[in-house]
Structure 1
Amino acid sequence: MRTSRLVIVSNRAPLEMVRGPQGVHAQRTVGGLAAALDDALRAHDGTWIAWVGQHASDDLRPETTGLAYPIRAVRLKEREISDYYAGFSNQVLWPLCHMFPSRCRIQQNYWTAYRAANERFAAAVQASVMPGDLVWIHDFHLCLVPGLLRSAGVPARLGVFWHIPFPPPTVFGILRWREELLSGLLGADLLAFQTDADVRNFLASVRQYLDVPVLDDPPSVRLPGREVRVAALPIGIDYEHFRAEASQPATRERAARLRHNLGSEVVLLGVDRLDYTKGIVERLRGFERFLERQPGWRRRVCLVQVTVPSRDRVPEYRELKRAVDECVGRIVGRFTYEGRSPLRYLYTALSREQLIAYYAAADVALVTPLRDGMNLVAKEYVASRAGVPGVLVLSEFAGAANELREAVLVNPYDPEAIQRRIELAVSMAPEERARRMRALDRRVATGTIQWWTASFLKLLERSAATMAMTA
């Protein structure tokens, strides 16, 4: 019996074809999704469908890309990318789902481009799919694709994983295209979200805006002739990779060198993409409050804030960078003493190896997004401790807080709360640090990226089988 072929569909591929002095070549893109799905694509003789840049041919073979699977490129023009991706995806759905409706720029041309781009992706899938395939669609960029494939009668099992938070109906309902987006998602056989709260919010929106039966146990939506399974499936990390890399002598040496260069008794670490959802400014204000209230710690502690550049062409992100820069300058100016600053700021992307060394060097990780679907930095930090106790200070509003209950949880909007949690973290007894980290490590080691991938595919196959039996 033939193993079902796996077709991954996402906005971006694990690489982009770029033009350089030597011609067009493949350049790997940042992100853990490709690594997560690599084994599954190999096992299922898979293919990846995505936008790969302006210079890609329609089909990219492994010998061209260096990957173990082919990529089918979706063609998008510059204006389509601007309005569909930078416009509707990032300036409408992203702020809306992260509970920042005032940041939404709802424009008809954005929606028109979004719908056209989704039609383009659906056409690429339709041209590639074979009977019995498993089609796994990723994230909020492609809400309409499942419905388009269902309407076209594509003979495949359709699953969607929604990586970001799903808001309650009072927020999601702001969109005038709410029915179209919900109906598009319900073209799938399986919809998976990061948390139970996301599942509840999605089902509540379906109840409120679509006239279809919704079941809570097990979560599902009943449609004519079929049922859509809805599940919470929190994404994990490649635990063994982070653990093994952190245990390498070279990593330990690099971490020791970092601590020596910082010249600090206690090292705190923040790692974020530049985004208003990450709470970087609020975190810096909380740290500033800690330094104000705890003068005895000013020469003993150092916060390393790593901010990865992102969307620098969007005005809101340029304004955010200015706000972060102002906070950094104020803290450095106020608290630098005899040439030593309690804050080091890096505005750059780090390699995986560099990042793990920073995780290994840090006594405390400050992971305080204002809202996040999961936040894998929290899990990466735990895995990279390699048995060495540390303290994870984690936002109550990150999806990871549902699993990592032994973290020190904090309201990321409240600088006073952040400063109190920093004080608790740096003063925590070694036995308490060790107890918490052991429990966190067990959780991260269990819910790995491999477990997540296998669980999703198993649910997708089971959903399709159930649908066939009840048809």
Structure 2
Amino acid sequence: MNRLVVVSNRVALPGESRAGGLAVGLEAALRAHGGVWFGWSGKVVRDASGRLHEQTDGDVRYVTMDLNRPDHDAYYNGFANRTLWPLLHSRLDLVDYARETRAGYRRVNLLFAEKLAPLLRDDDLLWIHDYHLIPLAAMLRERGVGCRIGFFLHVPMPSADLVSALPEHGRLFSTLYAYDLVGFQTMRDADRFRTYARIFGGGSIEPDGSVTLPGGKRVDVGNFPIGIDAGRIAAQSAAAVGKPAVRALRESMSGRQLAIGVDRLDYSKGLPERFRAFGRYLERHPDERGRLTFLQIAPVSRGDVAEYRHLRDQLEGIAGHINGTHAEPDWTPLRYVNRNFGHATLTGFYRLASLALVTPLRDGMNLVAKEYVAAQNPENPGVLVLSMLAGAAAELDAALLVNPYDLDGVADAISRAASMPLPERRERWESMMRPITEFDIHAWCARFLERLARTTG
């Protein structure tokens, strides 16, 4: 069996919380194959970047690398999150075009390549993850690495014309052709990459969906919707109803229904639009006044980036206006919380909620949508209100699908979800649970790695 080598921006080390489904799935795949997990240590040091740390747990070897402050700021805070993140989420108005951070991004990817290449064998399966590390395979090939290399983009792939707005876009995105397999969340994302490769790479699209480039290099392309550990989350949510935080939330509702949103504080999540849509719900359905409380949990991320500080101020203003206009002495319609909660507690919150609002403006997949469904009580499930612009909408078409920009439409979906009869709620929930259970995180890992092992390059 081929050894598996996983490369990601961050590594989930032994003993750390495995809240994320991705970490759970990758760790399971590594243990099945035996292998290496390589990435940034999370440490920002004063001296030179590149110091390695190693530890072993069973058949898995964890290798992490430190970064110094200039490299971290240019690579992570800079090009990855101020240039690529908004570009890939179709927000050209927020893209930072600074060339300095682009050079830092390339410098850190070169450092990854220099430290990783000596660890690799020709029969390895190398799986590189996400937009932080797009050029890594090309740099490894330059160093003589010959093993099969796959790449998975966890975020959306924008259209070719949007990608072309990035100066020297071809220099970056053409490095994807060094991979043997490039995977995306949805068929739409995979098709956009194929179109980009045809227009800007001179590639031809083959009947099997692969791309053949001038000179004969073939790149396999596929869509692999990422899943969750559905059974684990279902059990976790059932057990979590007895947790003090979950009991306290239930008691604080005073018999009212709970609507919930859980998102990292990010402009791609459509939080201002969601807040305004909830305010519109209160205006359009005055007969339902006091029936529903909306809890939005939005832990702060990238708080040192100006766009995120502005977003936080904006949300606080909208929440204050809604509550100032509609609250009663015994009822606050919108509860807005910026703190983190443990994953088990969150699944308990999901189980309490009569509906979830998952309304990103653009999302590669959105696992909160799947986790909310998996966490429900099968006898009395809640309703998922889901953006049609999230990758999850392709699988969870039994949700109430909405356009997050259509505030009236989202408002009316909230009302419909809050009053949906039990038989319809059960039917929709069962329909969504089928793909969530069948295509879980373990099936996702297995499908990608089996496809990578079959590639011929």
Please give the range of the TM-score, normalised by the shorter of the 2 chains: over 0.9
1:168, CA displacement in angstroms? 0.4
- Structure 1 residues 135, 249: closer, same or farther in 2, change over 3 A? closer
Which of these residues, 38, 42, 59, is aligned with residue 53 of structure 2? 59
| Secondary structure of 2:206's aligned partner | strand
- Contact preservation (8 Å) 1:364, 1:393: yes
Whether 2:428 is the aligned partner of 1:436: answer: yes
SS at structure 2 position matched to 1:82:
helix
- Alignment deviations for residues 65-102 of structure 1 (CA, whole Å, 9 cap, x no partner): xx873222234221111011111111111101101001
Q: Distance in 2 between matches of 1:60 and 1:251?
A: 39
Cα separation, 2, equivalents of 1:227 and 1:138 = 20
Quick one: distance in 2 between partners of 1:85 and 1:147? 20
Whether contact under 8 Å (2:240, 2:344) holds in the other structure is no
Whether contact under 8 Å (1:6, 1:46) holds in the other structure is yes
Query: 3-state DSSP class of the match of 1:454?
Result: helix
Runs of 4+ aligned structure 1 residues displaced above 4 Å come to 26-30, 249-257
CA apart distance, 1:263: 1.6
Shift of 1:257: 4.5
**Residues in 2 aligned to 1:29 and 1:320: alpha-carbon distance in whole angstroms:** 28
Paired letter, 1:33: L
Structure 1 partner of 2:323: 332
Mapped pair 1:449 → 2:438: no
Select which of 70, 84, 105 maps to 1:93. Answer: 84
8 Å Cα contact 1:251/1:356 also seen in 2: no
Unaligned regions of 5+ residues in structure 2, if any? Answer: none
Identity %: 38
CA contact (8 A) 1:359 1:381 kept: yes
1:161 maps to 2:152: yes
Partner of 2:359: 368
- Residue identity in the other structure for 1:14: A
> Partner residue of 2:161?
170
What amino acid does structure 2 have at the position aligned with 1:432? E
Q: Distance in 2 between matches of 1:271 and 1:250?
A: 18
Q: Which residue is equivalent to 2:196?
A: 205
Aligned to 2:283: 292
Task: Quote the residue 1:23 is aligned against.
Answer: none
| Secondary structure of the corresponding residue to residue 60 of structure 2 | coil
Mapped contact 1:150–1:188 kept (Cα < 8 A) = no
Are 2:114 and 1:120 equivalent residues in the alignment? no
In 1, Cα distance between the equivalents of 2:155 and 2:453?
24
**In the aligned structure 2, how far is the partner of 1:170 from the partner of 1:225?**
25
CA-CA distance at 1:150 after TM superposition = 2.0
Give 3-state SS (helix, strand or coil) of 2:297's partner: strand
Q: Tell me the CA shift for residue 226 of structure 1.
A: 3.9
The answer for the alignment partner of 1:394 in structure 2 is 386
TM-score (norm 2): 0.94
Q: Say which SS state the counterpart of residue 114 (structure 1) adopts.
A: helix
Equivalence for 2:9 = 11
Per the alignment, residue 34 of structure 1 pairs with 23
Please tell me whether the aligned partners of residues 255 and 360 of structure 1 are also in contact (alpha carbons under 8 angstroms).
no
Deviation per CA, 1:379-424: give whole Å up to 9, x if none: 0001000413210000010000011010000010121111111111
Given that 1:220 and 1:227 are in contact with CA atoms closer than 8 Å, whether structure 2 keeps it comes out as yes
Within 1, Cα distance between the matches of 2:54 and 2:426?
A: 48
Q: Per the alignment, do residues 414 and 177 of structure 1 end up closer, same or farther by CA in structure 2, a change over 3 Å counting?
A: same
Match of 1:46 among 12, 35, 39: 35
Note the C-alpha offset of 1:252. 8.1
Contact 1:246 1:252 in 2 (8 A): no
RMSD: 2.0
Alignment partner of 2:178 out of 187, 197, 208? 187
* Alpha-carbon distance between aligned partners in 1 of 2:19 and 2:71, rounded to the nearest angstrom: 22
Once the two structures are TM-superposed, the CA of residue 345 in structure 1 deviates from its matched residue by 1.6
